[in-house]
Amino acid sequence: MKKMCAAVLAAASCASIAQAQRVQAPQAPASSAVMPTAAKPVFTLDQAVLDAGGAAPSGAAATAAIEAAQAGLTVAGLRPNPVAQGQVENIVGSGSYRGLRSAETTIGVAVPIELGGKRSARVAVAGAQLSRAELQAAIVAADIRVQVTQLYVEAIAAERRLVTARDQARIASEVLRGAAVRVQAGRASPLEQQRADVTRINADASVERLTRLGEAARTNLARRLGHPIDGILDTGLLDRLPAATVGPSAPPQPAGTLALAAADADLAIADAGIRLARANRVPDITIGPALRRLEATNDTAAVFAISIPIPLFNNGRAAISQATAERTRAGAVRRVTALDVEQAITDAQAEAANAIITARAASGPALAAAQEAARIARIGYREGKFGQLDLLDAERTLAETRAASIDALANYQNARARLERLTAPATASNAPGGINR
């Protein structure tokens, strides 16, 4: 055991040197040496996001909502239709009014005239609703990107885990063969071979299990894309970590984010609703120019009518109160959203920062030390300097460190995607009031 401890200490010192060498000259993936000449193209994350955006039902729903809002804006700008009117008087009576002898036929048009700025108020409401629909489409696109990123990261992490499991299964088979040779030579007990066989069986089972998980992850990604994945995934995405930063991270800035812009859009709709409710309090007038023909004298005459509704039962005050309350609610929701966004960004920043630290440690010095310790243990086992338990312990530590490294790298990529979603800016075209009409 003392020899094993000395080997681990030596591995730790070698690991720091190996880590520095990797920083100076990054090595290509081992799989690149055996890739065929006509390798499949890399199916990148950006391509996956683009394909998923066209196939996602939520994207189609957002597009339909924009089209509906655009049609609503057109409808809001239309003037009320005139009404054709016809009237026949003094018919089917008695005396001189018997039959149609004294009939008076009137044909005219009733033209509603909107007062109080109702049309412009309707257009303002519809315009605010269109801005909100366009903003919602941007939110849906950002959500799709996060979802696809998580599926993509899970798929490449599953591939990385499978490669690691196959490597561990290969090592377990080699250890089993070495144990069999030692047992046949009388240098070890049959128990050593049995331990190696159990390790090999567990390693093969892990390969089978991770193969199914990898297929499931790739299938889920393909289902989200709407088509089979043509090409290899960009497994190097896991290893892309940002440069180390010194000092605390910048404080969260919710202003200009999609979430806060959506709350501002709802507030703009509520403001426009108050204006429309006030405009609806002003009564409209209807004018009705017409022509009247008198059957008895065969003469014609002009008729002009004007009507104004009397706001006796509905004077519009209740509608204004309703719109004002809705505006108060939207303002309160906007303030709550600002607080929630600040808190969510703060938590996401901390999560991403912690994920970076864990990923650097797990995929850097810790992984290098575990690899070096396992290498020394294999050499020492073959030379009879270390026992089998020391070798198995080193291999188990290496497998656990590899798994932790993959998990840490995947966690960072997912945390980065969530942080980007929370801080995604609202562009000038989908921000409230940012569209010129």
Structure tokens at 250: 């910048």
Q: What is the pTM of this model?
A: 0.76
How many other C-beta atoms can be found within 10 angstroms of the C-beta atom of residue 276?
Answer: 23
Distance between CA atoms of 149 and 143, rounded to whole angstroms?
Answer: 10
pLDDT digits (tens, 9 = 90+) for 23-81: 333 333 333 333 444 567 888 999 999 988 878 888 899 999 999 999 999 999 999 99
Structure tokens at 313: 């039962």
pLDDT digits (tens, 9 = 90+) for 107-162: 999 999 999 999 999 999 999 999 999 999 999 999 999 999 999 999 999 999 99
Please state the domain extents for the chain: 43-79+114-281+316-422, 80-113+285-315
Three-class DSSP category at 434: coil
On the question of pLDDT at 299 being above 70, the answer is yes
Phi-psi bin for 231: left (phi > 0), alpha (psi -120 to 50), beta? left
On the question of pLDDT at 265 being above 60, the answer is yes
Burial (Cβ within 10 Å: 0-12, 13-18, ≥19) of residue 335: exposed
Structure tokens at 196: 């190696």
Helices (H) and strands (E) in the chain, counts: 9, 6
CA-angle at 327, arms to 322 and 333, nearest 5°: 125
CA atoms within 13 A on the CB side of 413: 24
Distance between CA atoms of 123 and 131, rounded to whole angstroms?
Answer: 12
Interval 289-315 mean pLDDT: 87
> What does the buried/exposed string (b/e) look like for 369-394 if buried means 16 or more CB atoms within 10 Å of the residue's CB?
bbbbbbebbbebbeeeebbbebbbbb
Cα-based torsion angle of the residue sequence 285, 288, 289, 295 in order, rounded to the nearest 10 degrees: -160
On the question of pLDDT at 383 being above 90, the answer is no
Which amino acid is residue 149, in one-letter code? T
Distance between CA atoms of 17 and 10, rounded to whole angstroms?
Answer: 11
DSSP-assigned letters across all residues of 173-233: HHHHHHHHHHHHTTSS-HHHHHHHHHHHHHHHHHHHHHHHHHHHHHHHHHHHHTS---SEE
Topology of domain 43-79+114-281+316-422 in CATH is Outer membrane efflux proteins (OEP) (1.20.1600)
Instruction: Report which of residues 193 and 254 the model is more confident about.
Output: 193
CA atoms within 13 A on the CB side of 421: 21
Three-class DSSP category at 286: strand
Write the secondary structure of 292-319 as one string of H (helix), E (strand) and C (coil).
EEECCCCEEEEEEEEECCCCCCCCCHHH
Q: Where are the alpha helices (DSSP H) in 246-298?
A: 258-279
Distance between CA atoms of 193 and 191, rounded to whole angstroms?
Answer: 5
pLDDT digits (tens, 9 = 90+) for 223-250: 999 889 888 998 888 888 887 654 556 6
Three-class DSSP category at 105: strand
pLDDT digits (tens, 9 = 90+) for 398-433: 888 888 889 999 999 999 999 999 988 887 555 544
The mean pLDDT value of the chain amounts to 83
Cα-based torsion angle of the residue sequence 370, 375, 378, 384 in order, rounded to the nearest 10 degrees: -110
What's the pLDDT band for 268 if we cut at 50, 70, 90? Answer: very high
How many other C-beta atoms can be found within 10 angstroms of the C-beta atom of residue 108?
Answer: 20
- Pairing type for strands 285-294 and 299-307 reads antiparallel
Three-class DSSP category at 278: helix
Burial (Cβ within 10 Å: 0-12, 13-18, ≥19) of residue 341: buried
Which amino acid is residue 57, in one-letter code? P
What's the pLDDT band for 251 if we cut at 50, 70, 90? Answer: low
Distance between CA atoms of 282 and 276, rounded to whole angstroms?
Answer: 10
